[in-house]
Amino acid sequence: MTSRRRIALAGVGAVAALAGARLAWQHQAGPAVPPPGPAGSDPTPDALWGLQFDRPEGGTLALASFRGKPLLLNFWATWCPPCVKEMPELDRFHQAWAPQGWQVLGLAIDGPTPVRNFLARVKVGFPIGLAGLDGTELVRSLGNVGGGLPFSVLVGANGRVLRRKLGGTSYDELEGWARSG
């Protein structure tokens, strides 16, 4: 066996071992997103409303400006295929439900340059904030202990978490949330 082939096999073995260890840890750790209590019973962490994020186009975005109206908060990244796939669905929801007072905010767990490049290709009408890697801690504080993406949180006008979802969403699902929330 050539040394190049041995190195390749060793690399495949290491990747498989890491994947197996991650699966075992996830199984032991339980679900990444705990189910919320009865609708509207789970308070949003107060610290959330004091946060500010840079915007890809410049300036800052204060979360306090979203308080008091229903808010769909979506955590995403340009390198996350399900995140990229759901962006048009989020924008469609924003366009359809903004007249009824619904807000959508995307927080990118990513660097400014990839986000700017992405938004130059994929236009969205809702605001985007740059949470960077620190956004992972915010995701965890909202109940996504594994930090996976995409992650959406529906916050009612009263500041209570109504829904959480780890994984991609669709317009139909979001519309169902809005109608029931």
Residues 86 and 19 in one domain: no
Quick one: what percent of the chain has pLDDT higher than 70?
Answer: 76
> Does the pLDDT value for residue 122 go beyond 80?
yes
Residues 98 and 136 in one domain: yes
Residues 136 and 174 in one domain: yes
Q: How many domains does the chain have?
A: 2
What is the span of the domain harbouring residue 117? 42-180
Cβ–Cβ under 8 Å, residues 73 and 67: no
Residues 19 and 86 in one domain: no
Residues 105 and 150 in one domain: yes
Out of 59-68, 97-106, 135-144, pick the least confident: 135-144
Residues 84 and 152 in one domain: yes
**CATH number of domain containing 84:** 3.40.30.10
Residues 13 and 94 in one domain: no
Residues 114 and 166 in one domain: yes
Residue 149 is assigned to a structural domain of this protein:
yes
Residues 102 and 148 in one domain: yes
pTM equals 0.78
- Would you place residue 47 in the very low, low, confident or very high pLDDT band (cuts 50, 70, 90)? confident
Residue 166 phi/psi, 5-degree rounding, is -95, 120
Residues 17 and 101 in one domain: no
Strands (E), 1-158: 42-43, 52-54, 60-62, 71-76, 103-108, 128-130, 151-155
Residues 152 and 71 in one domain: yes
> Does the pLDDT value for residue 153 go beyond 60?
yes
> Does the pLDDT value for residue 17 go beyond 70?
no
Residues 103 and 61 in one domain: yes
Of residues 94 and 42, the one with the higher pLDDT is 94
